[in-house]
Amino acid sequence: MAEYKLMKGNEVIAEAAIRCGCDGYFGYPITPQSEIMETLMLRKPWEETGMVVLQAESEVAAINMVYGGAACGKKVMTSSSSPGISLKQEGITYIAGAELPCLIVNVVRGGPGLGTIQPAQSDYFQSVKGGGHGDYHLIVLAPASVQEMNDFVELGFNLAFKYRNPVLILSDGVIGQMMEKVQLSEIKPRWTDAEIEKISGTWATTGKKSNRDYHVITSLELDSLRQEKFNHKLIEKYKVIKENEVRFETFQCDDADYVLVAYGSSSRICQKAVEIARAKGVKVGLLRPITLYPFPTKKINEMCSKAKGFLSVEMSAGQMVEDVRLAVNGKVPVEHFGRLGGVVTTPNEVVKALDELIKKGK
């Protein structure tokens, strides 16, 4: 029977991790996501499922623990908020370079620097363009509800193992802190050693078996031609991801003259903005990217045949808008609107920005 609860977005990340058979969580406190580790410590999953939960000495150590755990074929994760995610970038690029599966959660707050502790969406570039050094991408999931915070934990692990690639849940302080009704996932046991052997036995470092050569997890390649070959392998992997894993949702787009593009908490605000604008007779719809990498480029490009303009609504100085512009490729106007520094946009502000876009087009 389905189990429902009223929970915070951060709390449900912890609950979903336990329920999907996560083997290890390694974290470091930072606002506004500390409830994730706090919930885990209260729940004591090590008694229930054997899951390891450890408060590391730093975000740097936490992400390197994720590296070590993932290299053993285990389902491991970490979470943090913007300044902490910056610290994790070294580990994340090593994880991407060693092709390890893992889950990272970023409950974004305003920046740059120490910034604010209020919600923002200003880590888009860092999340979808790489973040650390070298050519790589994360698969980026953007939940817009507490329910999706729950659902994307298991989805994230599935994608991570399917592609041997780190997956990032890009949330924000609104989704992390707000409470909503959530249908909890079914409880699944952690993988047995035999299952890990079946899933990741060709590469995981679980101790050298007599029937195989030894495994090495590394991102080092001293021969530049071989490194280039590996870079091409990654490019091919990202191509497959782009072909198969684009996820988005449309809201009242069928007859829309104008399209709002928004993810996460901004997409919730934009739903209301669509209602207000439609009541005033403006035919506007909403496209919500669920995966930010891969981005719904093709869908946005297709929408250009009908739409007269796009408005990218994000709590940043204008980051996703660049990807919308690339998708639109100059066919129609694309503008950006968003409050900054931890200030949450209101639906009426979005409608006003939309009015300006329409006026500009005339």
Partner 1 sequence: MAEVKDIIKEGNLVYKKSKVLTDKIMHYCPGCSHGVVHKILAEVIEELNIQEDTIGVSPVGCSVLAYNYLHIDWQQAAHGRAPAVATAVARLLPNKRVFAYQGDGDLASIGTAEIIHACNRGENIVVIFINNGIYGMTGGQMAPTTLEGMPTSTSPYGRDIAMTGHPLKITELIAQLPAVNFVTRQAVHTPAAVRKCKKALQKAFENIGEKKGTQFIEVVSTCNSGWKLSPVKSNEWMVENMFPVYPMGDIKG
Interface region with partner 1, contact rule CB under 8 A, candidates 64-72, 255-263, 303-311, 349-357: 64-72
Q: How far is the CB of 301 from partner 1 (least distance, A)?
A: 39
x/- track of binding to partner 1 for residues 179-218 (CB under 8 A): --------------------------xxxxxx---xxxxx
Q: Which of 12, 37, 40, 54 binds partner 1 (CB under 8 A)?
A: 54
- Give the Cβ contact number of residue 210 at 10 Å: 4
Query: Is residue 71 involved in binding partner 1 (CB under 8 A)?
Result: yes
Shorter beta-carbon distance to partner 1: residue 199 or 343: 199
Query: Is residue 61 involved in binding partner 1 (CB under 8 A)?
Result: yes
Query: Is residue 349 involved in binding partner 1 (CB under 8 A)?
Result: no
Site residues (CB under 8 A) for partner 1, limited to 85-114: 90-91, 94, 98
Q: How far is the CB of 117 from partner 1 (least distance, A)?
A: 24
CB 264 within 8 A of CB 334: no
Q: Please, which residues bridge with residue 119 across strands? A: 109
Q: Which of 9, 32, 45, 69 binds partner 1 (CB under 8 A)?
A: 69
Residue 47 half-sphere exposure toward CB, CA atoms < 13 A: 5
Pairing relation of β-strands 3-8 and 179-184?
antiparallel
Shorter beta-carbon distance to partner 1: residue 85 or 313: 85
Q: How far is the CB of 105 from partner 1 (least distance, A)?
A: 17
Q: How far is the CB of 30 from partner 1 (least distance, A)?
A: 16
CB 293 within 8 A of CB 319: no
Shorter beta-carbon distance to partner 1: residue 208 or 280: 208
- Secondary structure of 235-260 as H, E, C letters: HHHHHHHHHHCCCEEEECCCCCCEEE
Q: Which of 28, 67, 124, 157 binds partner 1 (CB under 8 A)?
A: 67
Q: Please, which residues bridge with residue 337 across strands? A: 313
Interface region with partner 1, contact rule CB under 8 A, candidates 69-77, 249-257, 258-266, 290-298: 69-77
Query: Is residue 165 involved in binding partner 1 (CB under 8 A)?
Result: no
Q: How is the beta sheet containing 139-141 ordered, strand by strand?
A: 52-55, 24-27, 76-80, 102-108, 166-172, 139-141, 291-293
Shorter beta-carbon distance to partner 1: residue 204 or 287: 204
x/- track of binding to partner 1 for residues 25-44 (CB under 8 A): -x------------------
Shorter beta-carbon distance to partner 1: residue 28 or 295: 28
Query: Is residue 56 involved in binding partner 1 (CB under 8 A)?
Result: yes
| Count of positions on this chain that bind partner 1 (CB under 8 A) | 38
**Which one-letter DSSP state was computed for residue 164?**
T
**What's the token pair of residue 352?**
């006003």
Distances (CA, A) of 110 to 120, 122, 246, 313, 322: 5, 7, 27, 16, 19
Q: Which helix (DSSP H) or strand (DSSP E) does residue 345 occupy? A: none
Residue 297 half-sphere exposure toward CB, CA atoms < 13 A: 13
Where b means 16+ CB within 10 Å and e means fewer, 157-192 reads bebbbebbbbbbbbbbbbbbbbebebebbeeeebbe
- Give the Cβ contact number of residue 202 at 10 Å: 9
x/- track of binding to partner 1 for residues 4-23 (CB under 8 A): -------------------x
Which has the closest alpha carbon to 146: 109, 106, 183? Answer: 183
Q: How far is the CB of 153 from partner 1 (least distance, A)?
A: 18
Q: Which of 31, 219, 231, 301 binds partner 1 (CB under 8 A)?
A: 219
Binding residues for partner 1, per CB under 8 A? 23-24, 26, 52, 54, 56-58, 60-62, 64-69, 71-72, 74, 76, 90-91, 94, 98, 205-210, 214-220
